Structure 1
Amino acid sequence: MLTDRPRWWHAVAAVPAGALPALSFPAPALWWFAYVALVPWMLLLRAAPTGRRAALVGWLGGAGFILAVHHWLLPSLHLFLFPLAALLGVLWIPWGLLVRRLLGGVVAAGRASAALVLVPAGWLLSELLRSWQGLGGPWGLLGASQWQVAPALRLASVGGVWLLSLLIVAVNCALVLLVAAPAARIPAVAGVSGCALLTGAVWLWLPGPTPAGQLRVAVVQIGPQGAAAGVEQRFATGERLTRQLVGRRLDLVVWGESSVGADLGARPDLARRLAELSARVGAPLLVNVDARRTADGSGSAPGIYKSAVLVGPRGPTGERYDKMRLVPFGEYVPARALLGWVTSAGKAATEDRRPGSAPVVMELSGAAAGVRIGPLVCFESAFPDMSRHLTREGAALLVDQSSTATFQGSWAPAQHASLGALRAAENGRPTVHATLTGVSEVHGPSGERVGPALPGSASAAQVYEVPLARGTTLYVRFGDWPVAAALGALAVYCAGEGVRALRGGSLRRPAPEPSAPRARTARG
């Protein structure tokens, strides 16, 4: 009888193969590795003997990717991170089936050309589904690994981070065809060349942002010791660091997330101290209040909010933004009645914070009067649509107030800070990423870093000359058109496969590759 050794090792290898792209993100930041990192995983999918095996390899690879990109959550979620990764890994099953369907067996030129479009589109579908806030949001999108590559950032101004993800997966797909499908080398080479030409054309011919002056912005990073102290000590540290800025001719001072631990309406003494600071430095302060709020006449329900509050020399200006997209498990527990046990298994929120109802664009006063800023809080900087909305509403500067106090010493602070470069390039607007602890960075309107970053260990106040820009990027104008194009391509493909199945019976598996005759086993 013929032997057919089970390829059980494919399933085992899928987890580390899926984890490889994580090396493209900070802290390793091997951006170039993203263009080859998917090849081992795709080769495993291509070799899957059945659709069921491809689904398994796709699922386990997706779980490995989630574990690797979010491994720094382990101290907070503990063992709950593993079932969570297994749940999110399911989102890569359709992509795994698609890879096997289009790249398995003998790949002719026509199917190879289709694969160069549909395999990236299938990956984007997985990214889109997991970008829902309830599933953790768009953290670790493959395109975000290119945050320090100037030509890629210019491409982001055309189609956002989604276009970069499509480009990266297309190059990986072309490399798989070059390695494993000799008959498809011409379209594979054409695919890699097309990606390079597209990036080069955008870089050479698309004009960059038009300069429109600058702002002098100070970032106050309280640092690990201040963050770990009590609410009063944390506030006092922020005061002390801000006083060092007197005489620096500032337009704005930004404190990090949770820098104020009491509602300013209930603590007029804190509001007065902030107003005095604003008067002394000659600029408004954007602080972040993480506190319980009672009914205040604004229509918001009582509860705990995280709010960006602008304070001038006369006190709070009345402009306040309440964080809208909360971190699952960190700031609220989805379906708490069902998953409330997580609070005993890890550091999940014991009480749900309240979300805000609408984005807010704030107007500065003083020397920068008329300049409008768009505040975001923490992981909201991962959502491309939020920054785009603020830009369309007139924000000249995007400000993200964050804290990674729980994740010091991990990859999380650098990963979070790098998102500012993507948001800046997409919108043609500078970004300020100010942290309570973590990595504070400023990026110009092309995504370039401005001035030195503040490392996670720093307790300091740093002044940045932030360049402003005018004009509208193609991404701001047309939005997530790469997503629509990818979904449209998948819809056309699925419709065609459906028609083919109706006409010819069942869907056929890819033709097997020619191989040497299998050895026969002797039986007595």
Structure 2
Amino acid sequence: MSLLAGWYLWQRMMLALGLGAVAALGLAPMSLWLATIGALLALPALFLASPGWRQAAWTGWAFATGYFGHALAWIVEPFLVDVARHGWMAPFALVLMAGGLALFWAAAFALAAAPARGPERRVMLLVLTLSLAEMARGYVFTGFPWAGLAQIWVETDAALLLAWTGPHGLALATLAAVLPPGVALARGLGGRALLLRCVPALALGLAILAVDGARVPLEGSGKVVRLVQPNAPQHQKWDPDWYPLFLERQIRFTAAGTAPDLVVWPESALPYWLDDAGPVLERIAAAARGTPVLLGANRAEGPRIYNALALIGAGGRIEATYDKHHLVPFGEYVPLGDLLEQFGISGFATRSGRGFSAGPGPVTLAIPGIGAALPLICYEAVFPRDARGTAERPRLLVQATNDAWFGTWAGPYQHLAQARMRAIEQGLPMVRVANTGVSAMIDPQGRITAALALGREGYLDVDLPPALAPTVYGRTGDLPLLVTLLVLLAAAARIQGRNLLPNSD
């Protein structure tokens, strides 16, 4: 019997809500992964105290609402940039986002709560259903995998497992390691019974030691990349009185010192439409002294507008462009945007109506002297599949972002943590350039080799780390894990069906 079996549902939900908030302390910037582990250890007691699937669903929903509510508190920041236009939406956005994402957890708890199963089997089924729910969260309705459980490991050697398992596999391993001991604690078991349930945790620990022991020493490539960080606050970024200053700042940083092998500016760094910026592009090319410049700009093609990255060569010539394909719903585009704009509802980064159009998909850009780069604009680095979406394996990943939208506390650091995960998953260095920071060079093992701090202007010349051999996850993606989860769940359903058959004797 669970320790909480005598509690009312509302009491268990309040406890679950608080534990979920504690679990979010494992994410950046706190990175207190032990807090997440502790909260997850208590989860089986809450789950097993639920007498039916409805109460289990409410319990899971409450835990996840606390978790996402704390983890995504930064989401109110974009609404405060233009308070008169968007401020009224801020509390609704946080509540709806946290409560909506929590529905995935509610479904997982409900599916695992069939009363005919024993407590051990119910919790092991919860491991599977939660893992599947977290994977679905990264895909359904374009996906939003932010604050995934694997993100608690970014500051530890456990993050190296991402090259083998990907984020959803590491989340599964985390749940499988933590929830079984939680069952023992919920049932008051100790001694040998508790130790047996710690075997998956021991296996995870041994796997971490193994990947850490296999870490490959990295040497410099001799290629120098300049990260340009203008530090333009969002409320001033498009102000005609201010954007010339930020543009001149970036040109000055580009012209400084010895010319590097590549210069990278952040997302939407150019305050003009790309197709009309010829004279400015010529100035940028002159400042670069023959070095290619990769910069963010908006561009138009007929009635469509795109959030793009452009590769600028000699004389300001546009050598190649990439159009962002994974857009932020209600940020860069709004479904039925022309209609909703009549009611004052539009995306933050849009200028009118439906906003930006999506590009055709991931592409690589051939950068002279460097090799093929896979560009990711802002939000795209949140999605593991977007970092492996091209037939040609790139030499490096490049994330250009404007994290001024995210405020100055958790949002920018959680975004950075996910960029580090993408580098490990693909075994590739990540060049990350952010308008207000944190701009960083990330090696293929997820380590930050150099960085410009949040909220400061400047530039940084840093050696580009080499790429590692293709990783297991980089080759396979999420499909093997998805198939495994579905097969295990189907087997569990079949066994449950047999147990429910009437006894013919």
Structure-1-length-normalised TM-score: 0.83
d(CA) in 2 for partners of 1:125 and 1:341?
39
Describe the superposition over 1:448-471 as per-residue Cα deviations: whole angstroms up to 9, x where unpaired.
1112x2222101111111211242
d(CA) in 1 for partners of 2:347 and 2:145?
22
Following superposition, the deviation at residue 165 of structure 1 comes to 0.8
Following superposition, the deviation at residue 225 of structure 1 comes to 4.5
Counterpart for residue 273 of structure 1: 283
- Taking structure 1 as reference, are residues 283 and 347 closer, same or farther at Cα in structure 2, changes over 3 Å only? closer
How many positions carry a matched residue from both structures? 481
Following superposition, the deviation at residue 167 of structure 1 comes to 1.9
Following superposition, the deviation at residue 97 of structure 1 comes to 2.9
Determine if contact 1:130/1:136 at 8 Å carries over to the other structure: yes
Unpaired segments ≥5 residues, structure 1: 296-301, 506-524
Counterpart for residue 221 of structure 2: 213
Describe the superposition over 1:77-135 as per-residue Cα deviations: whole angstroms up to 9, x where unpaired.
4132213332222111232235545998664xxx3xx844x433222211122212636
d(CA) in 1 for partners of 2:413 and 2:7?
44
- 2:134 paired with 1:127: yes
Counterpart for residue 458 of structure 1: 456
d(CA) in 1 for partners of 2:63 and 2:458?
41
Describe the superposition over 1:173-227 as per-residue Cα deviations: whole angstroms up to 9, x where unpaired.
03312312328424312222122122223333x4537757242111111113587
d(CA) in 1 for partners of 2:243 and 2:205?
49
Which amino acid in the other structure matches residue 472 of structure 2?
A: L
Counterpart for residue 359 of structure 2: 356
Q: Secondary structure at the match of 2:31?
A: coil
Determine if contact 1:430/1:468 at 8 Å carries over to the other structure: yes
Describe the superposition over 1:481-517 as per-residue Cα deviations: whole angstroms up to 9, x where unpaired.
3333223222221232234334569xxxxxxxxxxxx
d(CA) in 2 for partners of 1:330 and 1:57?
31
Q: Which of 8, 20, 36 pairs up with 1:18?
A: 20
Counterpart for residue 380 of structure 1: 380
- 2:162 paired with 1:164: no
- 2:256 paired with 1:246: yes
Q: Secondary structure at the match of 2:465?
A: strand
Q: Secondary structure at the match of 1:400?
A: strand
Determine if contact 2:44/2:123 at 8 Å carries over to the other structure: no
Q: Secondary structure at the match of 2:197?
A: helix
Counterpart for residue 394 of structure 1: 393
User: How much is the aligned-residue C-alpha RMSD, in angstroms?
Assistant: 2.9
Determine if contact 1:227/1:234 at 8 Å carries over to the other structure: no
- 2:424 paired with 1:418: no
Matches within 5 A, 1:492-503: 492-502=491-501
Which amino acid in the other structure matches residue 234 of structure 1?
A: Y
Following superposition, the deviation at residue 338 of structure 1 comes to 8.6
- Taking structure 1 as reference, are residues 87 and 419 closer, same or farther at Cα in structure 2, changes over 3 Å only? closer
Which amino acid in the other structure matches residue 166 of structure 1?
A: L
Is 122-131 or 425-434 further displaced after alignment?
A: 122-131
Counterpart for residue 299 of structure 1: none
Which amino acid in the other structure matches residue 325 of structure 1?
A: H
Determine if contact 2:427/2:471 at 8 Å carries over to the other structure: yes
Matches within 5 A, 1:42-61: 42-61=44-63
- Taking structure 1 as reference, are residues 231 and 105 closer, same or farther at Cα in structure 2, changes over 3 Å only? same
Counterpart for residue 509 of structure 1: none
Following superposition, the deviation at residue 5 of structure 1 comes to 6.8
Matches within 5 A, 1:8-407: 8-75=10-77, 76=79, 77-81=89-93, 82-98=95-111, 100-101=113-114, 107=120, 111=121, 115-116=123-124, 118-132=125-139, 134=141, 137-149=144-156, 151-181=157-187, 182=189, 184-204=193-213, 206=214, 208=216, 213-225=221-233, 228-230=236-238, 233-234=242-243, 236-244=245-253, 245-279=255-289, 282-291=290-299, 293-295=300-302, 302-334=303-335, 336=337, 343-344=344-345, 349=350, 351=353, 352-365=355-368, 368=369, 371-390=371-390, 393-407=392-406
Larger Rg: 1 or 2?
Answer: 1
Unpaired segments ≥5 residues, structure 2: 1-5, 80-88
Determine if contact 2:399/2:432 at 8 Å carries over to the other structure: yes
Q: Secondary structure at the match of 1:468?
A: coil
Describe the superposition over 1:135-168 as per-residue Cα deviations: whole angstroms up to 9, x where unpaired.
652111110221121x322211111112221122
Following superposition, the deviation at residue 243 of structure 1 comes to 2.9
d(CA) in 2 for partners of 1:103 and 1:18?
27
Which amino acid in the other structure matches residue 130 of structure 2?
A: W
Which amino acid in the other structure matches residue 333 of structure 2?
A: Y
Determine if contact 1:219/1:462 at 8 Å carries over to the other structure: yes
Which amino acid in the other structure matches residue 322 of structure 1?
A: D
d(CA) in 2 for partners of 1:23 and 1:341?
40
- Taking structure 1 as reference, are residues 343 and 488 closer, same or farther at Cα in structure 2, changes over 3 Å only? farther
d(CA) in 2 for partners of 1:309 and 1:66?
35
Q: Secondary structure at the match of 2:274?
A: coil
Following superposition, the deviation at residue 30 of structure 1 comes to 1.2
- Taking structure 1 as reference, are residues 47 and 345 closer, same or farther at Cα in structure 2, changes over 3 Å only? farther
Give identity over the alignment, percent: 28
- Taking structure 1 as reference, are residues 185 and 40 closer, same or farther at Cα in structure 2, changes over 3 Å only? closer
d(CA) in 1 for partners of 2:344 and 2:161?
42
Is 350-359 or 244-253 further displaced after alignment?
A: 244-253
Counterpart for residue 85 of structure 2: none
Determine if contact 2:292/2:313 at 8 Å carries over to the other structure: yes
Following superposition, the deviation at residue 383 of structure 1 comes to 0.6
Determine if contact 2:273/2:298 at 8 Å carries over to the other structure: yes
Determine if contact 1:210/1:471 at 8 Å carries over to the other structure: no
Determine if contact 1:46/1:99 at 8 Å carries over to the other structure: no
- Taking structure 1 as reference, are residues 57 and 373 closer, same or farther at Cα in structure 2, changes over 3 Å only? same
Counterpart for residue 465 of structure 2: 467
